[in-house]
Structure 1
């Protein structure tokens, strides 16, 4: 059974917006993930905290690609290698 996808927002001490994502990102909910990313991108540079994401498939990764120039990813030790294999580390900063 998959974990429902949910979002939260916050700010880093320097004022940078943070989109916090929890659950599993797959083709069934990648559209809502893409919308949340689009809303977060409206303010310029932002951080996407994926430390509570348990799974991401190619649809979820595809939602991130249009924003790589403006975001920084924070990933769990489990998800970090997935993002690296997908080539995200060549396009943006990934904190593990």
Structure 2
């Protein structure tokens, strides 16, 4: 059974938006994820997508990130490090892996 997708928006101290994601992102909820990215990416600030609470993501989730790669940075857990690197995302935007 999939872990439900959780999406929460917030702001950093400087006003930059943060989208915090939990659970699993796959083709069943990738459109919701893509919409959340688009909705959170406002005010001319770079969006931080916090994936530290994500247990799994598939190619549909990667496609959502690539669609907005110019305006975001990613924070992720070590579990996602290889897929974010192999996909090439880490060459196009800042990807920070937290322990």
Q: Normalising by structure 1, report the TM-score.
A: 0.95
Output the aligned Cα RMSD: 0.9
Return the alpha-carbon distance in structure 1 between the equivalents of residues 70 and 80 of structure 2: 20
Deviation sequence 1:50-91 (CA, Å, 0-9, x none): 000000000010011121111010000111221011100110
**Which residue of structure 2 aligns with residue 42 of structure 1?**
42
Relative to its length, the structure with more helix (as a share) is 2
Structure 2 residues without counterparts, runs of 5 or longer: none
Q: Normalising by structure 2, report the TM-score.
A: 0.92
Give the superposition deviation at 1:43: 2.9
Moved more, 70-79 or 10-19: 10-19
**Which residue of structure 2 aligns with residue 81 of structure 1?**
82
Runs (4+) of structure 1 exceeding 4 A deviation are none
Q: Map of 1:36-75 to 2, 5 A cutoff? A: 36-44=36-44, 45-75=46-76
